[in-house]
């Protein structure tokens, strides 16, 4: 089976085009095995490209622990680049479990219409003040300086307040147009970047008056530009890179 290894700001994926060859295995077990960085290819998740009756393609997503992803901002940019490099025009519509996502190539970058952000309210989880945002998948945003944020992220992800678990973002506001975010991803752990997490963080920060509606989001793997438009839609712009191609026997 052919695959392509891709990443968006270091958030990396195994991409398999099922339009060429149908995948017949257990997707969750496959993701657990091949995302392993010592015994497999190594990745934060797996993205399968399928035919779609609603969009250009359908994307099936699994985290490195085998769990499902409704949506992945960095991953969807990789899908757009994969298709555009193969000859598709500069606008891609992808069907996901979070709805149909539109991605446009802008120079060397890819701009994603992430859809509407859903502000789900605030609360206290594991002693932390949390702002809950949905970007088609769940996020818990925290505006605190947490030294051991990985351990805190793991605990919050699995807290009973989140029956389906949650992504966790630890945000430092650096100015009206810039925030820094450490990401604990549901089903993958600490990652270098999370597109939906960057969007959730900006929405939470802007809603609280901490930033403007457009800002740069610094992640461990690089920077995304995120805009929360007046109509409620969130636009995210960033890179997508191909690392290598290979064959799984």
Q: Which two tokens stand for residue 222?
A: 């690089």
The helix (H) or strand (E) run that includes residue 80 is helix 73-85
Rounded distance between C-alpha atoms, residue 14 and residue 224, angstroms: 21
Interhelix angle for 195-207 vs 73-85, to 10°? 130
Dig out the tokens for 199 from the structure: 């969007």
Compute the distance between CA of residue 169 and CA of residue 159 in angstroms, rounded to an integer: 15
Q: Which of 35, 78, 194, 199 is catalytic?
A: 194
Residue 72 annotated in active site? yes
Q: What is the DSSP letter of 171?
A: E
Is 199 marked active-site? no
Listed in sequence order, the DSSP H helices in 114-176 are: 149-157
> Residue 117 CA to chain centroid, in angstroms?
14
For the chain, the helix, strand and coil percentages under 3-state DSSP, each to the nearest 5: 15, 45, 35
Q: Which of 35, 72, 78, 199 is catalytic?
A: 72
Cβ pair 106, 217 in contact under 8 A: no
How many Cα atoms sit within 13 Å of 64 on the Cβ side?
19
* Structure tokens, 77: 């940019």
Indicate the helix (H) or strand (E) that contains 237.
Answer: strand 233-238
Taking the CB of residue 227, how many other CB atoms lie within 10 A of it? Answer: 18
Longest CA pairwise span in the chain (Å): 53
The set of catalytic residues is 72, 194
């Amino acid at each position: 089976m052919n695959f392509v290894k891709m990443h968006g700001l270091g958030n990396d994926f195994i991409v398999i085009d099922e339009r060429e060859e149908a995948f017949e295995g257990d997707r969750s077990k496959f993701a657990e095995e091949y995302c392993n960085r010592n015994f497999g290819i190594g990745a934060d998740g797996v993205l399968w490209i399928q035919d779609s009756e609603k969009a250009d393609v359908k994307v099936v997503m699994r985290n490195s622990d085998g769990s499902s992803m409704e949506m992945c901002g960095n991953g969807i940019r990789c899908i757009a680049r994969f298709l555009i490099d193969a000859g598709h025009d500069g606008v891609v519509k992808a069907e996901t479990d979070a709805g149909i996502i539109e991605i446009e190539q802008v120079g060397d970058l890819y701009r994603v219409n992430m859809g509407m952000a859903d502000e789900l309210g605030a609360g206290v989880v594991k002693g932390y003040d949390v702002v809950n945002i949905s970007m088609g998948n769940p996020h818990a945003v925290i505006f605190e300086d947490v030294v051991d944020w990985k351990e805190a992220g793991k605990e919050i992800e699995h807290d009973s307040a989140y029956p389906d678990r949650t992504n966790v973002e630890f945000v430092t506001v650096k100015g009206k147009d810039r925030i820094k975010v450490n990401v604990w991803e549901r089903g993958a752990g600490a990652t270098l970047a999370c597109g939906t997490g960057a969007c959730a963080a900006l929405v939470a920060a802007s809603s609280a008056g901490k930033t403007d509606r457009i800002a740069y989001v610094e992640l461990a793997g690089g920077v995304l530009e995120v805009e929360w438009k007046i109509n409620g839609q969130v636009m995210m712009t960033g890179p997508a890179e191909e690392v290598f191609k290979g064959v799984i026997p």
